[in-house]
Structure 1
């Protein structure tokens, strides 16, 4: 089996490699190809990946290259984990929205929109190379944010693709720890859009094989579980009880926008923290004595990324027909959204298709927010594919965290000025962008 990682020079990659080494029986890889344009990262990340395989006794070989065609040729599956502009672009995404009194975040709000504009054209270019050179039935697994928009871009272009996020598997592990069971004994009623999701049911399978939904127990005030869950998602316990669902921590940007903004204005950015972590990680990767995943990688984010990736890859390539939470086309699952919109729900995975399972109707407040964000996502993808300031402005205005014409105008100019080096059409337009 040949597996290719586009963006293989990411400091995330040893997390993947660790999972591949530990779970080799689940996903037997013969060749792992890491594709990245950065020669230093290729050398350092590729080197530690090779040492990790050797140390674990993994029989597969690790190849590093900047040649995308060589990397994807005859691949069984290709993973995308790109960050166009690197952490420097992320730092901008997390700061310039503050000038318009809006949160700065790499996947949500104006900053996430900027990331989509930078990313979608590049992903579509690489996906065409996968279509041309990989095996005819090869799948693309996208971990590149914003996952919902990027996955819809791939599916709209006719690629065999699915989006992957680690929020659901993180919740699964958290609930498993709460109830003292193995993760595979927990099944979630996970619904929404990427980074806009709720857990509406937590089904725990006992030793006798019976399953029960423990959400009511979690929401009971006297168990302490509700307070622990509220602390983990940084939102009030009363909000969780009121919704009778556990929101992902990304909902905080919507439910507590002004509080988050004030925190951001007085604290270092996440990008700054990640850049410091990456420097430490790259120094570790350069050390020839490092043959296992460094502990510093836990600070990088992406918890359980390798397990989530291995689960979906082994399900696809092994045609297992099991159920996982993934980003897939709606296909009527949410009747209030177009069929081709991408949602994040439990889906059945086979080699030929990934199909969302039916879900119970969403509450009115969830329908409203999901519909609003989905409308923005469709406009954002249109802007990313076709370009033009007017398309950017319309999508910016449509975002529920913006919603005002004057603020959308200011944020559009800020976005285009900050990203002129990464959005080719923006450089060619004769527009003066105010900072």
Structure 2
């Protein structure tokens, strides 16, 4: 179960891409190379940043130390002023994220020893200590950036003016797009399997009430990959994008209370509320999903085969079949049409689609119906069929047809300008010191206060 907002991450990555610097002319010197407010930047911080990028598969041969140093200066500026603005990142929140990332690294590299060696640390404790500070700084940076850009809005007139000011030879080209619809058939879970899970969760709840550790129970039994390794921990408020049933139960409990088992689309849960801080709740939960029998999977396959046969023969339209037979509540009343999560429009640019979805639709012509596809979403298996309702070829941006995309570009441009204005103001009022070895860098921001 994942509750993440990809849009904020993509936007911040875009903003970071606008930083430009030049290569220093002198040799690097170990030790302190910069100070921003209360934060110190070490030469070794840049070395570790290169290692981090390589671990993510990013080619670093064209990235200079000046570029990396400039990014470090920006991050420290954001983090320093996040603290000045009373933005809080708790140790529990940092540790939850850190544990998840270290677990992924261990899984990829094979052992903790290999991870420690890769990042050139002395021990696991040394590794965790370093990355605790890195994660906390990144979270402060992200929240400060978000606070700056969240207040930026754009009017239709501003969008129109932005588009008019683009030179004719620089008007963007938008790639081929498709409108996709799907029908999903999920296997029916029998009552016996449901009752097994409910009974087990009730047993775990009683054991915790009798003194056992909820943290340990979550690590051992929870099937939520996003939180089980950290004892089922989440922090949320009423705007956090958790499913409604989960939030309803979470906000109905007092501190120290444990819920009875309840159901969401992910399975069955129990929740322990640890702390209530104003509008925020810190909680732990255990998720368990009933098992699907082979017969249930066969029945689901037979059902979707029959639905497809009716559509192909012309007995029923795809849209009507979605309304009557699809098990996906988010799309069935819209004829199975998928919305692009980035734009909330029913159009997907082929070159920017999720690779797995692209592979399923790229060979389909308009009104073709795919063969049944077996999907596995975090261990939950189901069948689906898809069709392409419309296809638009690659074209030069047109204001009326591509308004949403143009609005995104205009808003992004305005956000970048707001970030630049904020940085310019904060640099003037913040203590900043740069080592002589890096003063030859050509910074976009006025770090040297010339």
TM-score by length of 2: 0.20
Larger Rg: 2
